[in-house]
Chain A
């Protein structure tokens, strides 16, 4: 059998929004902490005290990186666990005010799943570019019985940055705490102040997987939805992966040093992808705001193309990307984000870059894409 492969070069990983490759500092810190921080930090012997010191140092470092107090920072077992704790604990802490969560229609599914379990969820729509409808937000947040509001800092599917400062002002007027899911922003772009709860996920910034961060500002009512001793401070369920937490804290610090330079570089590469895809692929829609967007993420949809087939074809050429098309999801439903925007949901590709992404990788992707799309369309008879 003849082996036909595209001599495109080494594989290019372009799905940083799912998980960024670990930053070199994360590797170093993880190895060091594995040797030194494996004991239970709540024990009183020397090894336990050493682990406790590491935990506190990591907490202090992340607090410093995020510009918050050390005792406002908690670590959980994943970004999803942190989101669940924020939504469930935020709603429980405000049970006297009501049980409604007002949220943007483009939140991560972790927010929607937590809301479905805990209370009444009221979605607020977005425009064609994926930006929150602030007028609708104002009227929903001001309605009676609202316990919590939730807004993603920037869309994880299309990259559009959300008006967090304006949304937070509305929440403050009505005394409703605002939860911001900042998973795609932390380590890349600043998040405006004004929120009450914030979550992040270490493997999105180049830390290890399995570390979520939850920040609950002082004075915000939060009540644990889990069985446990301390009902008023978030704590991980079970043992914390302390070496991973140490690596997360160290890598966040390292990533923030480079963040501005990287944002400029990746913004340029994303601009090149946006312009080239629109020019070289017929019947394509590049979605999300072209300017008010994350530096590293771009999404487009190709008419008449099956998203899963496109993903596999690109994978055969060595490119790892993600898709919001229904055929790539477990639910058979199209992405609720693309639906809320009213943009094409099939043939969808999300490309997200990281500090290791080179210009050459982007150019090779852009060279391969038009032929791949044309081939799939020809197979479908278009």
Chain B
């Protein structure tokens, strides 16, 4: 699984990190984002909705999983 470590980075940087890594993720594959900015919990699912990607949830604190759909 591809991991993006955005810990210590303020929003919107974790979202920018995720968007920039997306081209390296195969369609159908899952990318895991590590982010401790409080806005990430809200903005990662919102980004998925806007960009038509699948938000899989937060399996642990400060960890978010996204599946590339397109």
Contacts and interface: CB of A to CB of B under 8 A. Distances in A.
Interface of A: 283, 285, 301, 303-306, 325-327, 332-334, 338-339, 342-347, 380-382
Contacts of A327: 10-11
Contacts of A303: 12, 15, 19, 47, 50
Contacts of A305: 12
B23 interface: no
A304 B19 contact: yes
A382 B20 contact: yes
Given A332-B38, A382-B20, A342 B10 contact: no
Given A283-B51, A325-B11, 14 more contacts: A301-B46, A303-B12, A303-B19, A327-B11, A332-B38, A333-B38, A334-B11, A334-B39, A342-B45, A344-B43, A344-B50, A346-B11, A346-B12, A380-B16
A286 to B, nearest CB: 11
Contact of A283 (B10, B11, B45, B50): B50
Interface residues of B, number: 19
Interface majority SS (helix, strand, loop, mixed), chain B = helix
Interface in B26-54: 37-39, 42-43, 45-47, 49-51
A333 B19 contact: no
A306 B50 contact: no
Contacts of B38: 326, 332-334
A304 B11 contact: no
Given A334-B43, A342-B46, A381 B12 contact: no
A339 B49 CA distance: 14
A60 B3 CA distance: 65
B43 A304 contact: no
A382 B12 CA distance: 11
Interface in B3-17: 10-13, 15-16
Nearest to B50: A285
Nearest to A338: B42
12 contacts: A303-B12, A303-B19, A303-B50, A304-B16, A327-B10, A333-B39, A334-B39, A338-B42, A342-B42, A343-B46, A345-B11, A381-B16
A304 B45 CA distance: 14
A332 B11 CA distance: 10
Contacts of A325: 11, 39
Contacts of A332: 38
B50 A334 contact: no
A326 B16 contact: no
Contact of B42 (A285, A345, A382): A345
Given A283-B50, A346-B39, A382 B11 contact: no
A237 B18 CA distance: 51
A290 B66 CA distance: 29
Contacts of B16: 304, 380-382
A283 B52 CA distance: 12
Nearest to A382: B16
A382 B39 contact: no
Q: Which of A301, A346, A382 has the most CB of B within 10 A?
A: A346
Q: Which of B12, B19, B50, B51 has the most CB of A within 10 A?
A: B12
A326 B11 contact: yes
A301 B11 CA distance: 13
A151 B47 CA distance: 29
A343 B16 CA distance: 17
A297 to B, nearest CB: 20
A325 B43 CA distance: 11
B20 A345 contact: no
A304 B12 contact: yes
B43 to A, nearest CB: 6
B42 A306 contact: no
A99 to B, nearest CB: 29
